[in-house]
Amino acid sequence: MKIRVFATAELATVYVAALVESLITREPHPVLGLATGATPILLYRQLVAFHRQGLSLAHVTTINLDEYVGLAPDHPQSYRAFMEAHLFRHVDIPAAQTHVPNGLAPDLAAECARYDALLAAHPIDLQILGIGPNGHIGFNEPEGALKTRTHVVTLTAETLAANARFFPDPAVMPRQAITMGLESILQARAIILMAFGAEKARIVKAALSGEVSTAVPASFLQMHSDVTFVLDEAAASGLGAPVAEASAPLVEHFSR
């Protein structure tokens, strides 16, 4: 497990964007696992900037983690619409190479199976993750038992409260979502979890240094061999001195 701490979210994002760019230029058919939420918005903005400077994403396949059940792809609060607005519309990825679960599928079990087949056919090279305030990744919520594969989840009260900010009318916010499962996420070759802000400090500490437990789904990342937590100083503030010391030169370097 690697931890990289930067003075600001902007600096942290430049680091992640450079890693993504390197994968895109190195691999003939890179598969990116993508996340939504406020955290990766800057990353997508940076990738769009790279594209405008000549980076092609035409050979990239993207697979998103999750989608709200009941929202049409063109609903402004759907994750498909989020990805179109922040990334897909601005770059040259063919639409057929971008994948988000279909929240309107008439048969949700069949949609989950379709997504698992898609994941089997396109193993993820690099999975980008955010983290919910309760430790969820994708929409894998803290539960007694975590699901391994794509499934329908009933969102917790904490997640509904956290994500209500994206819905002008929180009353219409879906109560369920389709999400990739924990095992599917852990099958990515490499994983980058980004977390910014003091409100993430407690859960980042729990995910990194607490027990591996279904109470904190992100703690399962401890079992993966190539995971990097990319944090700003506020999100890293709950971690002990060794982490702060180890990252100090980097923070200094990138804050100049």
130 binds ligand GLP (CB under 6 A): yes
What is the nearest approach in angstroms of ligand GLP to the Cβ of residue 58? 26
6 binds ligand GLP (CB under 6 A): no
What is the nearest approach in angstroms of ligand GLP to the Cβ of residue 125? 18
# residues near ligand GLP by CB under 6 A: 14
Secondary structure tally for the chain: helices H, strands E? 8, 10
Residues 56-95 that bind ligand GLP (CB under 6 A): 65-66
Residues 11-40 that bind ligand GLP (CB under 6 A): 35-39
120/164 with CB nearer ligand GLP = 164
Is 134 labeled as catalytic in the residue annotation? Answer: yes
30/101 with CB nearer ligand GLP = 101
- Strand 31-34 and strand 126-129: the pairing is parallel
Compute the half-sphere exposure of residue 187: CA atoms within 13 Å on the CB side of its CA.
Answer: 17
Is 64 labeled as catalytic in the residue annotation? Answer: no
Which of 241, 232, 220, 163 lies closest to 195, judged by CA? Answer: 232
What is the nearest approach in angstroms of ligand GLP to the Cβ of residue 32? 14
DSSP-based three-state secondary structure for 41: helix
Catalytic residue among 67, 111, 125, 141: 141
- Strand 227-232 and strand 190-195: the pairing is parallel
Residue 235 near residue 202, CB atoms below 8 Å: no
Compute the half-sphere exposure of residue 186: CA atoms within 13 Å on the CB side of its CA.
Answer: 17
A 10 A CB-CB count for 199 gives: 12
Catalytic residue among 51, 86, 99, 136: 136
Residue 12 near residue 232, CB atoms below 8 Å: yes
3/65 with CB nearer ligand GLP = 65
Is 163 labeled as catalytic in the residue annotation? Answer: no
Residue with tokens 């437990």: 213
Strand order in the sheet with 61-64: 2-6, 227-232, 190-195, 126-129, 31-34, 61-64, 98-99
35/83 with CB nearer ligand GLP = 35
Which one of 5, 20, 131, 235 is in contact with ligand GLP (CB under 6 A)?
131
143 binds ligand GLP (CB under 6 A): no
Catalytic residue among 51, 64, 66, 111: 66
91/218 with CB nearer ligand GLP = 218
**Of 126-134, 140-148, 167-175, 211-219, which part binds ligand GLP (CB under 6 A)?**
126-134
Is 136 labeled as catalytic in the residue annotation? Answer: yes
Euclidean distance between CA atoms 135 and 87, whole angstroms: 25
Q: Which residues bind ligand GLP (CB under 6 A)?
A: 35-39, 65-66, 130-132, 138-139, 159, 163
Q: Which positions are catalytic?
A: 66, 134, 136, 141
